[in-house]
Chains A and B, each alone.
Chain A
Amino acid sequence: MDLSYSGEELAFRDEVRGWLAANLPADLRDKVGDHEHLSKEDLLRWHRILAKQGWVAPAWPKEWGGTGWNVVQRYIFEEECGYAGTPPLVPFGLAMCAPVLHKFGTEAQKKRHLPPIYNGDLFWCQGYSEPGSGSDLASLKTKAVRDGDHYVVNGQKIWTTLGHYADWIFCLVRTDSTAAIRQEGISFLLIDMKTPGITVRPLILMDGGHEVNEVFFENVRVPVENLVHEEGKGWTVAKYLLGHERMNTGRVGISKRELTKLKAFAARQNKDGKSLMDDPRFRDKVSRVEVELMALEITNLRFLDQMRRTGQPPGADVSMLKIKGTEIQQSLTELMMYAVGPQAQPFKPLQADDGFDAFAASLAPRYCNTRKTTIYAGSNEIQRNIISKMSLGL
């Protein structure tokens, strides 16, 4: 048993770390560190820097621009990015649509869609959830009816992250309402967001931010060549994507960065003439999160080591990483908010005011926003259902 990275892996980590130090623009790093809003341009700027380096899509097949890194290298890369504080790579094109096209797409679909995804020329979003179909996704109602060489799409998607930036959306739609097994009536469609009949309406979250949307489809005509895999096989495609999750579901790198920040910040906070970090009640909470994060990192590495040796996809283990990772993210934002105490209550100045502490004021909104992590991408309860069924046989 050896928990440390090999010499080669350490050299790779140092290479990535050195490159990030030299190539992550300071203004982007600061924006990420301060949890400021990232514009479409911010996200794409970082995407293109990585694309130029050839590192934007490590998991893709080599002929399409993949790096050929193994699972451990990919994990190291993602964790280093998280720790360094890079803007996130928006997954909808790179890590969701692209793997689907690699697996199920026609040559024409690959040629048309993969290069603009790689280069960051076209922005994608995901059309899965509907107002009546959240955890029970297979109940979705958005309809696509064949009409000549088009499908005519009617219905509504919701929680469409960055839909307001997107050029394209991939959607699960119902092409057959009579299928005996409801999963078999679902198809996977690629839709150009500029098609007439599409309306995007913002859903503002409780932190005041605009990241998700509702997307309405009214007689939207989609060419049949935009169907991925066969008609009625959309559920197979969606399930494939679930097993194709990224290596850093636990987001250990980002949480390590946040923990470091929390400790440094709390150490400077004064409580009754002493550092807040000397308050045992606060300190114990921080230590317990730190220990949980140490354990999660090792658990993550154990799963990776197993994947590397067996060549098997991670399966239900990913659910465990998601549950623990998101619980840790939430604890960290909560502790950060507690650390500033009442200073977390100011939100927005009513008029320009030099004395306003923007950092402190960002902590309560961040706490509010982070509540989403245990709900999105399959709520943590759904993740527990998955483990219960797949690993425990219950």
Chain B
Amino acid sequence: MNFDYNEEQQLLADSIKRFIDKDYDFETRKYVASAEGYSAEVWGTLAEMGLLGLPFSPDYEGFGGGAVDLMSVMECMGAGLVVEPYLPTVTAAQFVARAGSEAQKKAILPAVASGELKDGLRADRSRGALRPRARRGRGEESGAGWTLDGVKQVVIGAPQADQLVVSARTSNDGDRGISLFLVDARAAGVSMKAYRTIDELRAADVGFKGVQLGADALIGKPGEGLAHIEAVVDFATALLCAEAVGAIKYANDATLEYIKTRKQFGVPIGAFQALQHRMVDMVISWEQARSMACMACARVDSEKDAGERKRLISAAKIRIADACRHVSQEAIQLHGGMGMTEEMKVSHTFRRLTMIAQQFGDADHHLERFAALDKVA
């Protein structure tokens, strides 16, 4: 039993924390978010720091890291509210890393690691939840290749993506009818309605109209996409939990600082017990959420039983979603009117936490999955 980061993980965490403190302060972040939604320079730095290739095998210029290695990175990204599409890229590349052909891995992974390529994760409509049985995209085999038709909604990172990983129904064979494809974001027939999300990420509804794909666009075997989707989304959910923990920590630190300095009735408002107890409950929420993020990151790679993995990830996401909601709402309340303003970072953290609570399934979605997988004696 050991809950510490190892030396390498700690060094990595320290270096990204330094980078965010120095070169990605709140003003910089605001500029990046309002301009292109990402900065090529920052992306290059992430690549230089080895963060983009971290989870890939050394055979493809990666470092062979797992979710635990990414956990400290994600905590820092959460605290710094990084808007660059790091999680979508790492997640989408996981499909190639886990299920792709040798040629796909060689073509994609080193390019992602070097910062050349950004991938967009396909997501579905409605509440950010991936509902694998409701795919809209359809892939049809046409001779040696495939034709892709359909729409994917709220694809985070899509406007910046070079490559998209798209899930599509290739047969009506239920769970066995979903396949994964690698699609060039600029291919003929791909259209995007791009927008900013409330937490200032870039996303798009992506349309596919008769998009012609070669046979080599298929990731893995036809009809076997669902298990990969579940595994990769669980992996991404563990990372998202870590990001949430970092953002929650920032919200708590900022709120504590605020109630110690803001004076009313001649005293810091943190002298009032009504606020002290609420602050304590926020800290407890963070501790409980961090425990579940540790569990999620430690178990998502090592748990061999898919059912148990899903149950654990759902448990983590339930607690994280509840903590996101609790802490973000309280942080604004304790900041008073100032917390409502655009100029305070905490209001941006509020927005990010609100979105994280929903992403990859909200608490209700995961309560349903958790209950379904439970073994009642």
Contact = CB atoms under 8 A, between A and B. Distances in A.
B1 A320 contact: no
Interface residues of B, number: 45
Given A287-B367, A299-B288, A2 B2 contact: yes
A321 B308 CA distance: 26
Interface string B269-293: 0110100110111011001111110
Contact of A305 (B3, B298, B319, B370): B3
Interface in B221-280: 256, 259-260, 270-271, 273, 276-277, 279-280
Interface string A355-394: 0000000000000000000000000010011011001111
B3 A291 contact: no
A291 B318 contact: yes
A4 B2 CA distance: 8
Contacts of B322: 288
Interface stretch (A19-27, A203-211, A259-267): A259-267
B377 A263 contact: yes
A150 to B, nearest CB: 43
B103 interface: no
A292 B260 CA distance: 30
B361 to A, nearest CB: 14
Contact of A9 (B1, B260, B283): B1
Contacts of B291: 295-296, 298-299, 302
B287 A320 contact: yes
Nearest to B372: A283
B68 to A, nearest CB: 5
Contact of A298 (B2, B5, B295): B295
B71 interface: yes
A284 interface: yes
Contacts of A2: 1-2, 298
B1 A301 contact: yes
A384 B277 contact: yes
Contacts of B4: 1, 305, 309
B16 interface: no
Contacts of A323: 284
A387 B280 contact: yes
A291 B370 contact: yes
B371 interface: yes
Interface string A87-103: 00000000000000000
B376 A263 contact: yes
Nearest to B272: A394
B280 A1 contact: no
Given A264-B376, A267-B377, A294-B315, A381 B277 contact: yes
A72 interface: yes
A5 interface: yes
Interface string A1-32: 11111100100000000000000000000000
Contact of B297 (A1, A260, A264, A292): A1
B5 A1 contact: yes
A295 B292 contact: yes
A129 to B, nearest CB: 21
B79 interface: no
Given A1-B297, A387-B280, A393-B260, A296 B3 contact: no
A4 B370 CA distance: 21
Nearest to B71: A1
B176 interface: no
B276 A324 contact: no
Main secondary structure of the interface of B (DSSP, over half): helix
A131 to B, nearest CB: 24
A229 to B, nearest CB: 32
B276 A388 contact: yes
A277 interface: yes
A288 B295 CA distance: 17
A264 B294 contact: no
B363 to A, nearest CB: 9
Interface string B355-377: 00000000010011011001011
A1 B3 contact: yes
Most buried by B among A2, A290, A305, A394: A394
B127 interface: no
Contacts of A295: 288-289, 291-292, 319
B83 to A, nearest CB: 27
A392 B280 contact: yes
B131 interface: no
A384 to B, nearest CB: 4
Interface in B328-375: 364, 367-368, 370-371, 374
A283 B376 CA distance: 11
Contacts of A391: 283
A287 B370 contact: yes
A323 B71 CA distance: 28
B136 interface: no
Most buried by B among A5, A277, A295, A299: A295
Contacts of B259: 394
A267 to B, nearest CB: 5
A125 B68 CA distance: 47
Given A2-B2, A291-B319, A295-B288, A302 B273 contact: no
Contacts of A302: 3, 290-291, 294
Contacts of B295: 3, 294, 298
B30 interface: no
B319 A292 contact: yes
Nearest to B375: A263
A296 B288 contact: yes
Contact of B68 (A1, A260, A277): A1
A302 B291 CA distance: 8
A302 B298 CA distance: 13
Contacts of B292: 291, 294-295, 298
A150 B364 CA distance: 66
Nearest to A266: B376
Interface of B: 1-6, 9, 68, 71, 256, 259-260, 270-271, 273, 276-277, 279-281, 283-284, 287-292, 294-295, 297-299, 315, 318-319, 322, 364, 367-368, 370-371, 374, 376-377
21 contacts: A3-B3, A5-B1, A6-B1, A9-B1, A287-B367, A287-B374, A290-B315, A290-B370, A291-B292, A291-B370, A295-B291, A295-B292, A299-B287, A320-B283, A320-B284, A384-B276, A387-B284, A392-B256, A393-B260, A394-B260, A394-B271
Given A1-B9, A387-B280, 5 more contacts: A260-B377, A292-B319, A298-B294, A392-B283, A394-B276
Nearest 6 A/B pairs, CB to CB: A298-B291, A388-B276, A295-B288, A264-B377, A384-B280, A299-B291
